[in-house]
Every structure is written in C-alpha cells, then in structure tokens.
Structure 1
Amino acid sequence: MKQEFVRAVPVLEQLEQGGYLAYFVGGSVRDSIMGKEIHDVDIATSATPLEVKEIFGHTIDVGIEHGTVLVFHEGVPYEVTTFRTESTYKDFRRPDQVEFVTSLREDLKRRDFTMNAIAMDKDGCLYDPFCGREDIENQIIRTVGSPDERFSEDALRMVRAVRFISQLGFEVEENTYRALSEKANLLSHIAQERKTAEFQKLLSGKKPKEALRVAASTQILNYYPELDKFTERISHFLSLEVSECQTFEEWLSVIALTSSMNESMFKEWKLPVAVIKRIKALLLGYERRKAEFFTRYQLYELGIEAAHSIERVWAAYSGQPAEHDRIDDLYAKMPIQKETPLSFSGNDLIKWSGKKGGPWIKETMKDIIQGMLDGEIVNEKEFVKRWLIQGNNQLKNN
C-alpha cells in the first residue's frame, strides 16, 4: 500500500471505531492499481456528515449538502463523503437531491466509469463490483451501467472520458463511444468554464492527439466555441508533430492556427486574461518567426523562455525542425539580455536632455538597447550619457 494511503489509515480506523464503514475511493485507488503517483486521497463512509464532524475535531464543510466534509489528520486534508445515491439531474450536471445510504455498492454504482468505481479498505483489499480493475488492465474506459444514463445525468462526463484517453492512454469501450456521439449535444447545457478546465487537462496528457481525434469524431469539439472549424481540419492537425508543445497556451496556439480562429474565441472560452495574453503573444511571435529568425532585439524583448515557447509553436505548425540551439547560442552571445539591469533609466534621459517626458523616451531607450546589442554602446551610465550628448541618437532631432 502506498504511503499516502498508509498515512490516511487512521482516518478510516477512527470512522470504523465509531461503528461506520470507511474506504478509500476514486482516482487515488485507480492510480495506485496502475502504479502511478497518487495525489488526493478521498474517503467514502457510511457515516453521515454530522456524524463525521462529531468524530473529528478539525473539519471544514466543503460540500456538506452533498455529503462531503473535509477532515484534517496530521495537517493533511481528506475529503470524506457519505455513501449516497442521486436522484434525477438538473441542467444535465447536478443532481436534484442526494440520499445518504449505508451501502458501498450503491455509492459506487452512481460513479462515472468502472475504473473510478473501486474501493479499497485499510488493509489494501479491493471492492470492485463493476470489474473496474479488469478494465484498467485492459486499458478500457467504460461507464458504470448504461452510458446513456451516465451521460444524461452529467454531460461533463463525456469530456472527462475523452480527457482520460489523453491522460491514461486508454481506449473507449464500444457502447460508451456510441453514447458519446449520441449524447454530445447535452454539452450545450454545461458551463464553458467547466468544459475549458477539462480541455486543459486533456492537452496536458500524454496522448492529446488521440483524445482530440475521438472528441472530433464524436462531435464533442463542436460544443467548444469555434472548434467546429478545428473538427473540419482535424486530419491536418493530426499530421503535425505537435509533441513539441509543452504548455496549454502552446497547444491552444497551434489549434488556433490550424482553425484560423479569431481572438474572440479565447474570451468565449472564459480563459483568464493572463492566459489570453500569453496565447496572443505566441501567435504574434509565430507570425514574426514565420517571416524570419529571431533578431537580437526580439530575443532581448522576449527573454529566452518565451523565445523557446514561440519556437515550439512555430516548429509544430510549420513542420520545420526547431532551432533551440541556435536561440541559445545567439542569446548567450548578446552583450545584454532581458535579465540584465540597465545602467540608466528614463528619468536619466529626461535629466540629460532637459526635455519633458513623452514617446521619445521609449524610442530613445530602444535605440540605446539596440546599440548595446550591436556592440556600439557599453551598458555603463557615463558611457550612455556621453553617447547621448554627442548626438548619436534621436534626442538631437526632437
């Protein structure tokens, strides 16, 4: 048993000492079976939320109406959720009401996929009524029970299924695949923020191209703003060597280039402003890189990491080999780099020139930096001052 479970065993034991059933459940059990690193350890119990709160001194109500209480043991938080069944779902996402039960099987029965419907006791013994371990061994994504019912209850499960293709490298079982196509239209009821979050996880997985192919063939992508265009060009995208991409922003930039998407799409995806800014910078950088290799001044403005990010997008979409070594060599030979403190400021330029502030400051600083990069100016305050006074810049003409 992994140490993460061992550290949480006292939580199970305290619940059992109170006369209740308690098991580890969910993704941590799945990942443990697969030999993967596990993160959050979740616990299911027959104790009601109020009974859980009576047993443990330090708790937080994180979703008590749905049976979940956050329990702290030795400073580590654990989500402890009461066994439950769910009624009909509203908005194809949230159940109208939940009913607490004492049966572990009934609790596992409501879960999305068989691989996530496995419980483990404190001794490491598995309770697997829906053959989830077998599906894990066969690398199959299969719903618990009817896929039509599971996806009608919570349409976001369809995007989760596709995301698991990327993260785990599994394939979707035939009936589950069919239901993805037939129920995809229900995704129109799901908030874009939730769909975007799943899409981001999909792109960070180990097989994003395979996941996107299934998402396109089942029409799931059509329920993301402007990705209907991407669906039409999915074969072109699948032919690209997109393994170069390392971040969500890089992936989305290549997708945007493939689909000729406009910038409004990023806002419709409810992306954070900072993420949109990075994507726009990558797309602008790509256009410049397409025209010519980085100049010294461009590398100075961008910095080494941003330049490599643009290079990955350019290489992925253009099909040309990335020239990372060339970037590193050019950057290393530059007299000043993005991280280099400048010996002067805009206030110095105002003082030396006797002029008022204005756009000329930015242009003059650019000229000085370019001169430094060309080896004509030394990054020393007195040298820059003499250079300016001698009239080798725009001050003389403004």
Structure 2
Amino acid sequence: MSPEGKRLLNIIVLGFGFMFMFTAFQTCGNIEQTVIKSFNSTEFHGSGYTSMAIIYGVFSASNLIAPSVVTVIGPQLSMFFSGLLYSGYIAMFIYPYTWSFYTASVLVGIGAAVLWTAQGNVLAINSTDSTIGRNSGIFWALLQFRLFFFNISHLFAAYSLEIYKDRQTVFISLTVISLVGCFLFFLIRKPDPEPASSEASESLLQAESTESTASLCSQALDVKLTMYVCNITDESEFLLLAALSGLELTFYSGVYGTCIGAMTRFGQDAKGLIGISGICIGIGEILGGGVFGMLNKCNRFGRNPVVLLGLITHFVAFYLIFLNIASDAPIAPEAGTDLQAYITPSVGVALLCSFLLGLGDSCFNTQLLSIIGFMFRDNSAPAFAVFKFIQSIMAAVAFFYSNYLLLHWQLLILVVAGFLGSTTFFLAETLAESSRRESDYDSI
C-alpha cells in the first residue's frame, strides 16, 4: 500500500473507532437518567446531571496534562487506555454503586482530554498540507454516524420504555460496542514520513522513539509550556471560533431538543420529535463532513468560504428558530409551554433548523481541525488540547446559563459569538495561507 493510502486508511480506522465508542457512550448518557430513576433510592443515590457536570469539569482541567500523556506513551496507546475508561463508565451500570458511578465520571473526564488530544495528534501526523482538510472531513463524517444510533435509542425511550426493563443486557451490549472501538485503534499503523518533512514527522512521533522516559517527560513539558505561551499570539485568532463550537455543542445537543420537546403545539409526539431532530442534525453533520472532505482538493480559496457557509447557515437557522419556537421553551416546566412565537409552530421548520444546525456545525469543526493540524503540525498534541480546553469550558458555561436564559437571549449570544469567531478565523486563515506561500517560496 502506498504511504498516502496507509495514511487514509488510518484516518478511516480512527473515524470508525470513535464512531463505535461514542455510539455506545452517548446512548448510555441518553438512557442513564431514566435508568437511575428506576433504582431503589436506598441502593443508589447518583444523578446523571451531576455526573455530566463532573465529566465536563474534569475534562477541562485534564487538558493541561493531556499533551504530556500523549507525548510519553504515544497517541495509539493514549486512545486505547482512554477508551477503556469510557467502556468502564458504561460497564459500571451493570452493577452500579454511588461511589463507582462518580469515580467513573472523574476517570471519563480525564480520559476524554487524553482521547481527543491523541485524536488530533493522529489526524495531524497522517495528513499533509494538501490532505488535512479532506481527512478532517472524513473523520468528522464517520464520527457523526453515531448520531443515528444515539437518537434511535431516544426514539425507543420516547415511544417504548421496554429498553429499560433488561438493564444488564443493554449495558453489556453497549460495553462490547465501546470495546470494539477501543481495539480498532490497534489497526492504526505508523505512517511513512515524507522525505521533505522528516524533521516534522520525527518530532510528531517522539512517543514512539527510543529515548528514555525522563527525556520524553521533559520534552512534553517543554512543548506544552511553549504552546500555552504561543496561545496569546498564534492561536488567539481562532480560539473565538473554538469557543463558539462549545456554545453550539450545548445548544444543538441539549437546548434545542429540549425546546422542541417542550412545544405542546407540536402535539402529543413532541417528545418523540427530539430523536428525529437529532437524526436530522446527524444528516447535516455527515453531509457537511463528507462534502467538505471530497471538495478539499478543489478548494482554491482556502477554508474561509466553508466557515462563511457555516456562519450563514447558522444565522438562517437561528432566525427560523426565533420565529418558530416559543421564547420560554428552554426553561419551560415538564408539562411544556403553550406559548407561540411569531409564526404558527411548524414541525417541518423545526426539523429543517436541526439539519441546518448540523450542517453549520460541521463547517466550523472540520475547518478548525484542519487549520489546527496545519498551523501546529510540529506541536499538534498541545494545540488540540488547548482547542478542547476552550471548547469544553464554553460548553460548561452554556449548560449553566441555559437553565436561566430565555431562548432569544441564547440565540443572541450565539449570533454575536458566531460573528466574532468567524471574523477572527478569517484572519487566522489569511495568516496561515501567507505562511504556506512563504514556505513554498523558500523551498523553491
């Protein structure tokens, strides 16, 4: 197999591994709160919402050590051991205890930081300047297939609670699916270095060299500290877009589905529409990742047009949501809201907005993965750690204010963040393109 074919195969295996893992993990998260409510209160006192708060908090803090871990043991083992922590969290529900539940939440937070840092590292070392956009799109599209299975489970939860009756069988099955994703990472092979960039490849694969552990730890800390100092200058141009992706993650994964389910004017099937909405988001994510991956070689104008498309797509979605969904939907009681927005509530418009949210999100995330892999090829692990740190912090902030702010204020925050983030990304892309042209000129 050619070196390029080997790299592409690595990206595909990476995408399938993440798809299996997060299909299992998100399905677990989708049903865990209902399962927890069915436990006898004298045996178990855990809360799914408290667990998610712990996971996000530890995730944010653990990004500070994740680059060092990836540098010391390598990206492949980092993903494998992190995946085992995800599988352990799922398996805990087979025989749950309160102490094991919260302990597993802490471990998953640590594993998430290491997993996503290692993923960015693998994406970078298996890509060149001309393929980073394509590979980002392929990985993102494969990862988003998880939304189909995740939301199918939500449909089961809405229309038939039979899935919760045999708890142990369900969670054993999810654990096996997660473990399949973990072991897929061992199929990823070390890519052959490009002759013109051997030094960069050597630095990216430090963890697989024969240096001593002490030397590796020293190098990892040096890289991490250098990267965090560089954040003030090099990364600041696209950190706002990374922050926006965290806000959007909260909105499309939690807030918007809640809003649809709270609209009593959608009829008795409003709760079931949450799962259908999630599937529409997944279609938008997969379509965006696939199209942007295939069009990478034809992209003569850089990443800016894709980000601009994402911005316009989201602005259209936010406007339609503003017109279609009642303002108190995010904070409505369990019985829902009878209020009407500015037009007669339409299920079709609501599902169209779900698709647009997914499509716009894929625009932003594929280009963020691409530009980080391009700009920080030599220090990709710390760069992706910073990206995930900012994203998870903003997601936690959004989860907090979503409990208090009306829908129109949340949409206003997203519009302002989208405009500022996209504008600064355009600047970062211009700088990256100038750097690439200077590098080409020097090589000539």
Shorter-chain TM-score tier: under 0.3
Asked which structure has the greater RCO (Cα within 8 Å, sep 6+), the reply is 2
**Structure ranking higher in strand proportion:** 1
**TM-score normalised according to structure 2 size:** 0.22
**TM-score normalised according to structure 1 size:** 0.24
**Structure ranking higher in helix proportion:** 2
Q: Which has the larger radius of gyration?
A: 1
